[in-house]
Copies of this chain bind each other. A is one copy, B any other.
Amino acid sequence: LESTFSGLLTEFRAGSKRACARLLSVVENEPDAGTAILDELYPLMDRAYRVGITGPPGAGKSTLVEKMGRECRNRGKTVGIVAVDPTSPFSGGALLGDRVRMPSLFTDPGVFIRSMATRGGLGGLAARTKEVCDVLDAFGRDIIIIETVGVGQVELDVAATAQSTVVVLVPESGDSIQTMKAGLMEIGELFCVNKSDRDGADRLVMEVETMVEMKKGDGWMPPVVKTVATNGKGVPELLDRLEEHRRFLEASGLLTSRRRESIRDEIVELADDWLRREVWQRPEVAAQLAALVEQTFAGRTTPYKAAEAIVKQAVASR
């Protein structure tokens, strides 16, 4: 590996955005080489502060992320932006366009923007999101902003990767109730009422504050910040609150304990993947599976008994 990618890795370490983009493509698309690269970069990681931005579609998250990136730059920080877009493959091109409509950031050497689409399936997207953040982290970004659309497993996994998760809401009728339904309240460590120049913003702030107070806390009371992303209003305050959250995590020891937990989760996940591949790639297991599928289809066994037989066989040979 080292020889294949050593040129790229040298350029990467020297701060080349082009090398970073190419290594990201390897990490996203080639599992084995990607793992070797991540292993190589590991000592450079864990310096970036990772912030997840999530909320319902149409809440203005992309605009907010752009303004946050600009404000981070004003404060002298380098920025990575990861936009996770569960876009349909046949509409992908056009919609992805709006991710890179951040010209002021795009040409700034202190900003690196990466869009991730699902290409027809969410499987593995969350894992790849973490890996993309890891690379940007090793690239030396001070802050990484991860934008996710919608609600689902990906958002929960991103929230687990991020040190702080911001939930963006807009004052529209029923929005707060839908948010509760969608499970966003649980993952929010900060709440942002965007488009706060609209009617109903103050009511939404109050509603969210009420719901936040109902949450069982770990000593952190999630603040609710009003923003107008289109003109940048409230964005500095949002970053100040994020900074406070970071200091809270440090002072409380949560930053350390979560890091330990996240290392543990990562090792278990990598080992599980590896183990799975190790077992299913054995020719005798593949043959056994094919036979058991037919037997189950014919009603002569059940999926449960079939799985049991495979595992017994795989570990019996120990």
Contact = CB atoms under 8 A, between A and B. Distances in A.
A151 B304 CA distance: 29
Q: Max chain B CB contacts within 10 Å: which of A118, A264, A280?
A: A264
A153 B154 contact: yes
Contacts of A178: 57-58
A263 interface: yes
A289 B314 contact: no
Contact of A35 (B264, B279, B304): B304
Interface stretch (A3-11, A18-26, A267-275): A267-275
Contacts of A29: none
A287 to B, nearest CB: 13
A66 interface: no
Interface in A42-63: 42-43, 56-58
A152 B151 contact: yes
B270 A307 contact: yes
A209 B174 CA distance: 29
Chain A interface mostly = helix
A101 interface: no
A90 B215 contact: yes
A296 interface: yes
Interface residues of A, number: 79
A181 interface: yes
Interface stretch (A72-80, A81-89, A104-112, A230-238): A81-89
Contacts of A182: 57, 86, 149-150
B183 A274 contact: no
A42 B275 CA distance: 29
- Total copies of this chain within the assembly: 2
A38 interface: yes
Interface in A85-123: 85-91, 95, 118, 120-123
A7 B311 CA distance: 31
A318 interface: yes
A239 interface: no
A251 interface: no
Contact of A297 (B149, B211, B263): B263
A-B pairs, 5 with minimum CB distance: A152-B152, A270-B307, A153-B153, A42-B302, A271-B307
10 contacts: A42-B303, A58-B174, A86-B181, A87-B183, A88-B185, A91-B211, A95-B180, A151-B151, A151-B152, A267-B292
Given A87-B180, A121-B156, 14 more contacts: A42-B303, A42-B304, A43-B299, A58-B174, A86-B181, A89-B186, A91-B185, A152-B154, A263-B296, A267-B303, A267-B310, A271-B306, A275-B279, A275-B315
